[in-house]
Structure 1
Amino acid sequence: MGKRFYFIRTKVDADLKNSRRSRPDSFNEEQVLKQIRDDCQQCLEKEGQKNPQVFLISNFYLSLFDFPKLTEYMCIDLPLDKSHALVLAMPDITEKAIEMKKTALQETIELESLRSILQDPPTERTAKLQECLDHYRSIFRVNDEFLQKLEEEIKIPLKKLKDLSKSSDFLKLFKNHPPVEMKAMKTPFHSDPELGKSFSENLAIRLHFLDGVVKDAKKILKKAGDPPEKNASMMERVTKLLK
């Protein structure tokens, strides 16, 4: 029928925990995962599926196992508009996911700057840039609302999380954006230098905002996954989550 199917095996963390509990001396994380995957594939092949790809998912920790790979496959398979929406809705569970969001936003950022220059009165453009920054911070989950939820989940004081998020200071980011190199910046306003300058500056500020928010997202991601989880095996990390 031309439809794409994704076969997902959930609660892998619970299977690993049970396996380790029942066979503590011979437990091997990779072998258990391989057995789960092979069993799922064999069952699907018996039902007529050819070369089914099975994604193993943790219900508690999305960055483990195959969830990042699943989202990548879906982004590739979906039409461009749906892929774009999916990328922006993905949780920031890996640096690669963060970079995918950044790329998706970069694809439309020139159009947004152009729309602002053509539609927004000059007196309203600063407010529109504030909205732009707020939107980026929401997309990358570094806004106050999400940080409050994160504080409850990972037990790190909200102040420490906010200290990592430098993009919360709009005026500082706005004033410290890199100078616009007019010769290097291409604009659609060749016959109107002043409008071209406004467009270039608006675009430079948006790109500066995006870079700042991406840096915040990566710092918060690293803080959320710091030791003891940082160098632990999947099973050790899952065990801590399930206690």
Structure 2
Amino acid sequence: MEDTSPLLEDSGEQSTEWAMAIAKAKEIVNGLDQVVLNIAVTGETGVGKSSFVNAIRGVQRGDEGWAPTGVTETTMEPKEYPHPSMPNVRIWDLPGIGTPSFDAKRYVNKVHFEKYDFFIIVSASRFRENDLKLANEIKKTKKKFYFVRSKIDKDVKNEIEDGGGTEEEILLKMRKDCEDNLRDLGGAPVFLITSKDLTKYDFPNLVDTLKRELPVEKMDVLLQSFPVFSKQSLDWKYQAFNKNIWQVAAASGIVGAAPVPGLSFAVDTAMVMSFLTGVYRSFGLHDKALEKLSETVDKPILGEVKKSKIIQEISKYMLTSSMQPKLLASAAVNVLSLIPVAGSIAAATLSYKTTRAVLQQGLDELYQVAKKVLEMADLQ
């Protein structure tokens, strides 16, 4: 979730009860960010590792945290690239295996295999001897690895121009060549992708595979962090965020029980907007994501989305007018919380229910906007 500190500090409250309630609320809400996901992207030099790292983080050239790309080896040591809105998701761009600085024999120790949850091995053509050696070393650690052949758009275009057949025929041939090359690994699957457009080719299949094979808590983090590329991927994100609502509402309940006038409304507002801002970014509804999508599909999507009331107000870090009355109802919590024991229990219950309802409404509204975006972009 986004940092709620600026909003909380605006209240001017300095009491001990305030500090204790805020600390407990932060403990619960921050628990949503405690599941750390480390993804390693590796392969030989010049195969498009950095481009892939940028693509799965939704980062474009010129953005803060952009991973430098180039035809020569730009990565000389493991480089961590945190997700722009989910710092607990860390993408690691590993040095190209087989370079003078990192030969295959020393590679495993130098990049610290133990820290990563799974590996993406990238190639721009055939998977070579170093890739196979790397895969065998990963197998020894009992960790998952996935083969990705990148730059497929360029390869398909060149093959068609050279009379190599239809796109479908070319993709079948490329897949077979890769799988034959990896036969000694027991028929490892290969995912054909282009980092320029993750909606095409096999990226959706890669995410579906990861979804099936990762532990549940890691899966939810992965789904929230990856870009939206289809209606199905949006549904996955929605389900992952829906699981988190009760935790934020529980934090609201704890704060609601604190006998500090004005505390519950201030904290609830901060937590609600923090949660919904995270959803807004994950659903790809911020300007940069929509500008890129508009360019990709050649449609004026950004302008249409900006007409949405919830987008206008969340982008200004405000509650929508339809949510405010519900959250203001929690003002009654301030009176109830001053009544010893029974009043605190009632206040906590009311705060929990109110915040949960507001979060559900906001999530549902953002989901509907994101679905409309996919329809406008002809992405199903």
- TM-score, normalised via structure 1 length: 0.76
8 Å contact from structure 1 (residues 113, 203) kept in 2 = yes
Matched, 1:37 2:190: no
Matched, 1:207 2:345: no
1:150-229 matches, within 5 Å, as 150=293, 154=298, 156=300, 158-164=302-308, 166-169=310-313, 170-175=319-324, 192-225=345-378
- TM-score, normalised via structure 2 length: 0.50
1:92 Cα deviation after fit: 0.6
Post-superposition CA distance 1:96-154 (Å, at most 9, x none): 11111111111121111111221363131223322222222122121345445555654
SS in 1 for 2:320: helix
Cα distance in structure 1, aligned partners of 2:246 and 2:230 = 26
Cα distance in structure 2, aligned partners of 1:72 and 1:108 = 21
Matching residue's letter, 1:42: D
Distance 1:53 1:21, change over 3 A: same
Cα distance in structure 2, aligned partners of 1:157 and 1:111 = 33
8 Å contact from structure 1 (residues 167, 173) kept in 2 = no
Cα distance in structure 1, aligned partners of 2:198 and 2:239 = 21
53-62 or 154-163: bigger deviation: 154-163
Quote the sequence identity (%).
Answer: 27
1:43-192 matches, within 5 Å, as 43-45=181-183, 48-119=184-255, 121-124=263-266, 125-148=268-291, 150=293, 154=298, 156=300, 158-164=302-308, 166-169=310-313, 170-175=319-324, 192=345
8 Å contact from structure 1 (residues 142, 217) kept in 2 = yes
Cα distance in structure 1, aligned partners of 2:325 and 2:172 = 51
Cα distance in structure 2, aligned partners of 1:208 and 1:53 = 40
123-132 or 57-66: bigger deviation: 123-132
Distance 1:145 1:165, change over 3 A: farther
Cα distance in structure 2, aligned partners of 1:117 and 1:144 = 34
* Count of aligned pairs between the two proteins: 212
By percentage of residues, which structure has more strand? Answer: 2
1:38 Cα deviation after fit: 0.6
Distance 1:72 1:173, change over 3 A: farther
Higher RCO (C-alpha under 8 Å, 6+ residues apart): 1
Distance 1:16 1:164, change over 3 A: farther
Post-superposition CA distance 1:181-221 (Å, at most 9, x none): xxxxxxxx9x9445323311211110111111111112122
Matching residue's letter, 2:270: A
Distance 1:119 1:149, change over 3 A: farther
Unmatched segments (≥5 aa) in structure 1: 178-188, 231-243
Post-superposition CA distance 1:163-196 (Å, at most 9, x none): 257443332341587xxxxxxxxxxx9x944532
Matching residue's letter, 2:264: P
Distance 1:148 1:64, change over 3 A: closer
8 Å contact from structure 1 (residues 55, 66) kept in 2 = yes
8 Å contact from structure 1 (residues 57, 65) kept in 2 = yes
1:21 Cα deviation after fit: 1.2
Matched, 1:6 2:150: no
By percentage of residues, which structure has more helix? Answer: 1
Distance 1:219 1:157, change over 3 A: closer
Aligned alpha-carbon RMSD (Å): 2.8
8 Å contact from structure 2 (residues 284, 290) kept in 1 = yes
Matching residue's letter, 2:360: L
Cα distance in structure 1, aligned partners of 2:159 and 2:295 = 30
Cα distance in structure 2, aligned partners of 1:148 and 1:53 = 33
Cα distance in structure 2, aligned partners of 1:150 and 1:56 = 21
